[in-house]
Amino acid sequence: MSDMASADPAATPVDPSKVSPSGMSEGAINYALFLLLIIFTLNFLDRQIVTILAEPIRNELNLSDTQIGLMTGLAFAIFYTILGIPIARWADNPKSNRVGIIAGAVTLWSLMTALCGLATNFVQMFFARMGVGIGEAGCTPPAHSLIADYVAPEKRASAIAFYGIGIPLGGLLGMVLGGLIADHYGWRTAFFVAGLPGIVMGVIIWFTLKEPRRFAGAQAALAAAPVAPKIPLKVAIAELSKSKAYINLVLAATVAAWVGYGLGVWTIIYFIRVHGLTPGEVGVWLGITSGVGGILGTYLGGVLADKFGKKKAGNAMLVPAIGMAIASPLFLFGWASTNWMVALALIWIPGILNSLWYGPLFASIQGLVEPAMRAMAAAIALFALNLVGLGLGPTLMGMISDALRPTFGPAEAVRYTIMFASLVGLLSAWFMWRASVHINRARATA
């Protein structure tokens, strides 16, 4: 890491971002980024489509709110988080083929998504969702590592934010298509349709996506330069844990994910239970508004981070910190509304502000670490944010809803649950601000 790197120049590994692009044209880099965006879109489509299908699944399989939380969150997060780190170690190996890792991953998770449509009870659905998590663990760490090799450091926040657009875009497609298909053909068909594109994309990735490590120019440059030995896992974790900037970035991402994933599930159920919409209606209206808002927020966050982080790298994290601090209380006005259209309009702006963090945060992580630890640093952050955010966000909110149900009823219990969750975003904003302070201090010291 730049704030932890060795003072000995001979021990500093070559930055692949400065050598790998020499073997790729600008068009090839743009194609690679676009292809990775499609993959991440499918990643989130298959991950999140279960949220719009949660109510029809609950009704048919007779599930509790806690089981909905487990099905949408923890079942996926268990192996997704556990496998992320060893896959990242594999991706960080200079001899590995990150393209092959991603191609195999998308094929596996797509097949498991289709299998969700065959579940006849909670246990079968739980294990099918675990299979989706196993496959998706092989996507983002190697993708972030590839992007860091494709583009120059001063463009990484925008490039990673472009990749991050897959989150709201996948959520949009999952809600719109999932809701409409569920209304007309049933929730099982929605899973089958969602799984098919990924199988096709796995083949396209394998044959058309370029691995920078395979270019002769990059290999020659790396071979001629001094390269540090592979960093042991314990050493990597120990080094990362010494960085206050990295720790605050991980904490910020974890809390933001807890809020984001939890609201992603229970906002849908809120509109169904409180306002009486069907899954198809929620999928179209909420999917389009939140999807467009998320795309704008995610990309804007990367652009603003590149702009404000030029002079002081830590200032990039002030962008999402301010956004989330404003968004958290604004959400309450939407949740309190008794009209679904008013509620939808009132949560749109805070939804945009809540989406600013992905590009700045992960670009900041890539800028903190040396090349041999890029995928690992991303994977550890993903481990924390997905275990707590994805695993416990929907689950704990389901448990809160179940606890409030006897007093307030099923509809109002969901309303009060998401009100509480929205305010937790203030904690994430605080960690983002602290991360910006520590990044600037580390750079000033260096």
pLDDT in tens, 403-422: 999 999 999 999 999 999 99
Q: Is residue 3 part of a domain?
A: no
Q: How many angstroms separate the CA atoms of 236 and 239, rounded?
A: 5
End-to-end CA separation in angstroms for the chain: 11
Structural domain total, the chain: 1
What is residue 228's predicted lDDT score, i.e. its pLDDT?
A: 47
Span 346-385, pLDDT tens digits: 999 999 999 999 889 988 988 888 777 777 787 788 888 8
What local confidence, expressed as pLDDT, does residue 392 receive?
83
Tokens of 86: 């060893």
State the Cα–Cα distance between residues 202 and 49, nearest whole angstrom.
19
Domain membership of residue 1 (yes or no) is no
Burial of 198 (0-12, 13-18, 19+ CB in 10 A): buried
pLDDT, average across residues 174-182: 89
Q: Which of 62-66, 257-261, 293-297, 428-432 has the lowest mean pLDDT?
A: 62-66
Q: How does DSSP assign 351-375, residue by residue?
A: HHHTTTTHHHHHHHHHHHS-GGGHH
Domain CATH number, residue 17: 1.20.1250.20
pTM: 0.73
Query: In this predicted model, what pLDDT tens digit does every residue of 182-199 receive, in sequence order?
Result: 889 999 999 999 999 999
In a domain, 148, yes or no: yes
Transcribe 153-213 into DSSP letters.
Answer: GGGHHHHHHHHHTHHHHHHHHHHHHHHHHHHHH-HHHHHHHHHHHHHHHHHHHHHH---GG
Domain range for 382: 9-445
In a domain, 184, yes or no: yes
Structure tokens at 355: 């989406």
| Contact by Cβ (8 Å): 53, 278 | no
| Of 96, 99, 94, residue with least CA distance to 15 | 94
| 168 inside domain | yes
Residue 312 falls inside a structural domain:
yes
The alpha carbon torsion through 168, 295, 255, 122 (nearest 10 deg) reads -10
CB-CB contact of 315 with 436 (8 Å): yes
pLDDT tens digits, 423-434: 999 999 999 999
Q: How far apart are CA 169 and CA 162, in angstroms?
A: 11
Task: Give a yes or no: residue 163 inside a domain.
Answer: yes
Domain assignment of residue 331, yes or no: yes
